[in-house]
Structure 1
Amino acid sequence: MRFSVPALAVVFQLIVNTCAGAADNRAALVIGNSSYKNAPGLATPANDAEDVAAALTGLGFDVILRRDGSADDLRAALGEFSDKAAKADIALVYFAGYSVNPGVDGYLIPVDARLATSSSYSTEAVPLRAVWSGVAKARKLGLVVLDALRGHPFAKLERQDRADPAGASGSSETFRNVLVFFAAEPGKISEDKISEDRTSGDGAARNSPFAAAILKYLAEPDLEINFLFRKVRDDVRSSTQQKQTPYMYGQLSRDKVFLNAVKQAYLSDPSVAQPCDELTAAPDGPTRVAEARSIAIVKVETVVDAITACTDAVRRFPAVDRFHYQLGRAQFAKRDYASALASYKKAFELGNTRALYALGTMYDDGTGVGWDPSLARFYYEIAAKINFAPAIVRLGLQNERGAGGPKDLAKAHALFRQAADLSDPGAINKLGEFAEKGWTGARNLKQARAFYEKSAAMGDPAGMVNLARCQANGIGGRKDVPGAKLLLAKAAEAGSLEASDILSHVQRPKRR
């Protein structure tokens, strides 16, 4: 089965999702501190935060972004974020900048921190445990991502490193649903520079190795979070020549978590556009589920994939009418008429209006079934009652011809008027024919031409042919032979055999 990932990306939401398939509420706080007032400035954190915030926004997170935040700024942002996290399924904090002390008992350093004494931590820095507590409010999972181990910038203070990442008082039992992902393992610092092949053209890196890896793998579809972190770890080790190894602290539940769940979304939610929807959409029609009203034949070159995709959709969602209808369209395109008839009937039983029309056309045209205009009329009449314009037009044609019932031009005209009010170009063209021929009143050539013009402007090939005839002969308005030829060429390009025949006759060399 060949699915186009770019095409699917247009119609699938990039959502945070579990295997159960339910869309989650998501909140994130992203902080990048580069311009420190009392410590050496850092090159990439502001860029890292900006880029990570954009990536998370694209994944559906409600993001709070802070760059070069003071202590008051960060505390206010953390308070705002904590309120959002309490209402979220997944909450995430990303911090790039300085930190002191490793592990979960460390501190995140605002840009205005002085840290002249050991007691300054409580007033000038943000405890990592406060961040941890904020993300822990999320219903399913909290994530803390720290690109912050860049050495001790305040040399006057004694640094108390601990090998235990949980700290002396820390325990994973405190917040069971929280993961902390550190840029480097205990006792190590993160790299500010990356290898030359990963830098920009002028040799300066926009992002840290850790941020660059996160940005790379956040965009990868259907990557479970455990594997995402493993790929980030391996990428960072490679780009820093094994100098830096990220590590993760905490435990996940049994549920798989995806930050960019493309396949997971469509596998579990029929309201999300499926490959079946994409492959059975008309070439010039919309692909969104709510607007997928096309009845055009499936492309021949994609019919096998369409049948496979729609068969799979029917298997997963047997009560969803549109998948049975679209499977029928694909089967019809393959000329498997018996299967198409069965699929259309199933879709009809589930309430699909387009399937009613498709059944009617099969019996009306005698395609794959015995010709039965009376049964066709039965299906058209049901669809017409719920204002499905193509069925109304077909029913009007039956009344005009006397197929499947008595001939009734007045009723046909009323049906064409009904469909025209629904903006059907074919119905508008038929109103022009009735006006030109005077079938339900006096002939009105000017009005007929106006109807043809409107229909042609909407792309109806029959309307183009009729308008070309009027222009060629000066019917209902001025004569315009060059314009008529252009219209015929356009109608022929749209598939009108009548237009092709007329052009062939007009362009045929005259005998001498």
Structure 2
Amino acid sequence: MRFLACALLILLPQIAAASDRVALVIGMSDYRTVVDLDNTANDARDIGDTLTGIGFEVTTVIDAGGAELRDALDAFAFRSETADLALIYFAGHGVEVQGQNFLIPVDADVRSNRDIQRQSISLDMLLAAVDGARVMRVVILDSCRDNPFGDALELASLEETDEMTEDNRGIGSSAGTGLAPPAPDRGTMVAFAAKDGEKALDGTGDNSPFAIALMDAMPRPELEISLMFRQVRDDVLEMTGNQQEPHTYGSLSGTPFYLAGASGSGVGIGAEDRRVAWASLQPDQEERLATLAGQGDTRSMLGLAYIHLNTADPRHDPETAQRLLEEAAAAGSAEAQFELARMLEQGVGATRDVERALALYRRAAEQGFPDALNDLAFFHYQGEHGLSRDVPRALDLFRQAADARHPEAMFNVAALIDDGVIEGRGAEDAARYLYRALRSGNAEVYEILSERPEMFKPDTRRALQRELRRYALYDGAIDGDFGPGTQRGIARAFGDVPS
């Protein structure tokens, strides 16, 4: 019975503890073994000032060696877990080696591709550092460079030559393929100063064209982030006479987000508020969204659908919303498949069709969409919608959703482990899921662990205390008693109290 009560959490939205934005801004200019870059330090400082001016908590790192940069990334990764948005900006030399992108610290002694791999910071490391943010993750590279030296890169090739110009941030000649296209997870955006395979310009003034465009667009209030980066692209193309075209990669969630804030909405918007959040979009941006939707952009289709699903808005039009979701779902959008499934399951704004809804839930789950995994798990556990009760299948789906960081699924898996339902898992596993659910910012999980911790067994409570101690959030006794010290640790893990 306890699990069934907890399972009701599945139907509740995630609520962040606080709406905040953190940024790590990195500028590499004074290189020891490769040609220096003129504007990268300026770019980093100015981007950092711009982000600070719009409310970001900014850490700026200039001309760092590899060890210092890795320490900064580790600290930022922990801080990111209680932020709505985590953003990293890197200006400096970057190269592609064997399909991976590497960013070069100033102390790298680069004589071969192997040196690059061993001494540099990979794009994957930057993505890991922002990965824990609750709503959105952004990595911006003003370092789209190439590695034209194959597997026998020599130091002499990296020295400044006649082919290097003051307005080119590349290493070596202009030949080569630039950075490789990344494939970030859903909810993560990677922005390159130049498309993969192309090179970025350092600029002839104090800043690169890309940095100038970013500094102009970032402070603009009520400019949704996807449209903001499209504006940056257009501005850079204009400034460079079409020589440089920035590009973004990734699949953003259907939550609208505004770097400089938006009237009528917070910085981070819970899933159940998307209808209201998109409905507050400025008219010119709604027109832009419609244009992009007509060009096949599925996130724009989703945004428009959410507007038409808002019952408090005069544009409320369920039929149009369903048409947009149908189109986006057919194009492969997992979120559109999930939202359309909910409409059909509940018969809200559409004719009820449970069989088709289940098929859409499965399609979204096959793409790893956490909400779909979680809902299907609940249906199988309860035996709902004509499905036979299948506990093993439900547990497998719950684990998949939990491992994809679905907050309610993490809580429910912890409860199932605590009840002994999941074989081969113990109190330490339950505690790890509870800790991650706390870090995700789910208010229901926070409330239960703060006010009703006795619903978990003493072994699980002691294991959670050990988990809090592991991250220096608690230094008291490991006794399973959630007194004031443990409560402070729980609040710190949630983000209510600074760590």
Q: TM-score, normalised by structure 2?
A: 0.44
Greater length-normalized contact order (CA 8 Å, ≥ 6 residues apart): 2
Larger Rg: 1
Q: TM-score, normalised by structure 1?
A: 0.43
